[in-house]
Structure 1
Amino acid sequence: GVRKRRAYLNSEKAMLQERLVRSRSPSPVRSQSPTRAQLTNSSRRARLVSRFSDLYAVERLEAQSILRRYIPDLEMVQKIVFIAVVESFQTAKLAYRQFKLRVRKTLSMSHFGPESLEDAAVDYIIRNLDLYDVQTSVNDVINAMNVNPRISFPPEVDFGLISTLIGETCRVAFAMQTLDPPLDLAFASDGELYNDT
């Protein structure tokens, strides 16, 4: 009943939290003077991990509930939501890299001061996260999901129905890229996510 479902959700949540691992991508060498970005890194990390947990507890269940109206197979619904989260992370990471390149290019023309250009770019992005074009990322995620051969869904299902989950995941994933080191999802097979053990 309810107790079993709660235990299942708690184990699923724990597994996704374990997937939030430090990115293995090498980080450029940082300058010695701590910038505001570095000073607040641990508090931002804690806040973003907490936000991801909330997202997993609330928006994920809302997305599953919406999809269940159209797709009776719970496992397929869970797979769709899992793929939405993974696609959101990949799309946000790409958007972050492109955004950082533009910021670096702009700053390189006028950059002076003790911090490196890399630190200055990341600091700028942290202060201007609202400049991230979330809607473009949401559209990219939905387009990728529409052609994903691993999920099946009836024609009346529009993944725009779960755009809240996708958008919020993109926002969190984008912000996680500003951490040093960045936070990322570990890759896993779909089956691992739903395995109760």
Structure 2
Amino acid sequence: MEASGRSVNPYIISTFRSLVEAIIPPHLIQKDYIGTVHVAGAQELHVYEYVIWILDHSIAFPVKEQFNFVNGSMSKSTAELLDAGAARLIQKGQIFYPLNGTAYPSGGLFSALSPIDRLRAITLIERLDFNLEYLSIPYKNNPVLIRNMMDVLNELPMFGHYSEWPAYGKTRLLSPEYRRVEYFPPGWFQVQYPGPSFGYRDFRGFLAIIQHRKVDQ
């Protein structure tokens, strides 16, 4: 993965691939006259690249200004935060399934968890059920940012998956002004959204019936 000319390391990629897979997994649905249809999940649509891009571009700038996080990588620090939550879940003996390091061999403990355990690790982080002292900046002893980021990590895969972002194709990692929609977004097919149109009628409020009374002059 290349983002604005910068190579993203395999550890970060594996971590966020496993994240988006847990939040929007692939699944099968039954269609009349067609049979069983495979519906792509967020990992298959490269939504993890969207999450990494937003972390390192849109979110990184205000965080760097506020917490003096000048030379750090927001995606790497967030991946390490997810691993810290996974380590705590394992330490508490609360994982449902054994660790599996083969699906994402470049990842850490979070990637080795089963999808359901990854979601439980996120919940544990959100509850601050671990030692914040040992986290890397900007999350070190920063409960507000941690909780906000857990909300962000639940939302970003949805935004990326069901927006036009996967349809940018080869241009998806370029700056926004250079992106071009190359095909109809798969997420729009999944939710049966026909796409934007200037011809749609807008809801402009309710019809108001006003009775005018005659006023004697």
TM-score, normalised via structure 1 length: 0.37
TM-score, normalised via structure 2 length: 0.35
More helix by share: 1
Pick 1 or 2: higher relative contact order, CA cutoff 8 A, min separation 6.
1
